[in-house]
Amino acid sequence: MGRKPAMTPFNLLRLGVFLASLLPLLRLVWLGMSDGLGANPVEFVTHSTGTWALVFLCLTLSMTPAKRLTGWSRWMRFRRMLGLYSFFYAVLHFAIWFWLDHNLDFAAMWQDVLRRPFIAAGFTAFVLLIPLAATSTPGMMRRLGHYWVSLHRLLYLIAVAAILHYWWHKAGKNDFGTVALYAMLVAGLLGVRLWWAVKAAVDRRREMAPQNER
């Protein structure tokens, strides 16, 4: 095989998605420089990065269903990038909280994790993302083989923890409008997988059944 062309239309599309995924960050930088972060900039930036981490998590979880529904397998080639962006915004979200709310004091941060369920849920989601980000390279995929698939199913748990984090955060103010939308989205993305798994199991059993009757 000769040298691959550097910029196929598909690679251009991937580059476009890569750059577009930086826009939420650029927006925050721009707002920060133009006095646009409102009266409480820390709150604004914390909420924004947290929301975008969740958005990218949902997008990551959408790639497999998108492939099955459209039959276009190249959806899967966005999955790693979107997953890493979710991690990227989660790191920013965590760092802002650790830095501006806890003054980089590890003991104080840990106390907060232990004392408050909503913090514990968010922290769990963040910590579980770390091994997934670390094993996202093709080399790690090869080395881990089928363990890789099992490991990356952690994302389902992470999604549930992230929703709990957001839900409990809003619970004190009875303000569930936005978080309910994300909860339904995650429920749908996980539910469709469960449905497919059950259907596959039923199909397998049906394939076995005629032999028994013969």
Partner 1 sequence: MNRQRDELGPAIPASEITPRAVFEQRRTIIRAAAAGVFGAALAPWFARQAFAQTAAGGKLASRPNLQFVLPDKLTSYKDVTGYNNFYEFGTGKTDPARNAHTLLTRPWTVSVDGLVKRPKVYDVDELLKLAPLEERIYRLRCVEGWSMVIPWIGVPLAELIRRAEPTGNAKYVEFTTLADPKQMPGLSVKVLDWPYVEGLRLDEAMHPLTLLTFGLYGEVLPKQNGAPLRIVVPWKYGFKSAKSIVRIRFTEREPETSWHRAAPDEYGFYSNVNPAVDHPRWSQATERRIGDGGNALFPPRRKTLPFNGYAEQVAPLYAGMDLRKFF
Q: Which one of 12, 15, 42, 187 is in contact with partner 1 (CB under 8 A)?
A: 42
Alpha-carbon distance 47 to 95, whole Å? 13
The yes or no reply on residue 112 touching partner 1 (CB under 8 A) is yes
Which of 132, 160, 162, 159 lies closest to 148, judged by CA?
132
Q: Which one of 37, 66, 183, 190 is in contact with partner 1 (CB under 8 A)?
A: 37
Residue recorded with tokens 């995929």? 141
Q: Which one of 16, 32, 131, 191 is in contact with partner 1 (CB under 8 A)?
A: 32
Which of 1, 19, 10 lies closest to 73, judged by CA?
10
CA distances from 189 to 100, 151, 154, 159, 166 (A): 34, 18, 14, 10, 17
Handedness of CA 171, 174, 177, 178 (dihedral sign): negative
* Cα 51-26-154 angle, rounded to 5 deg: 35
The yes or no reply on residue 100 touching partner 1 (CB under 8 A) is yes
56 in Cβ contact with 82 (< 8 Å): yes
The yes or no reply on residue 113 touching partner 1 (CB under 8 A) is no
Convert residues 126-165 into a mask of x (bound to partner 1 by CB under 8 A) and - (unbound): ----------------------------------------
Q: Which one of 34, 73, 103, 211 is in contact with partner 1 (CB under 8 A)?
A: 103
Site size toward partner 1, by CB under 8 A: 25
Q: Which stretch binds partner 1 (CB under 8 A): 32-40, 64-72, 126-134, 202-210?
A: 32-40
Q: Which stretch binds partner 1 (CB under 8 A): 55-63, 77-85, 170-178, 191-199?
A: 170-178
- In the three-class reduction of DSSP (H, G, I as helix; E, B as strand; rest coil), residue 63 is classed as helix
Query: At closest approach, how far in Å is the CB of 26 from partner 1?
Result: 16
Chain residues that interact with partner 1, rule: CB under 8 A: 32, 37-43, 45, 100-101, 103, 112, 115-118, 168-169, 171-175, 177
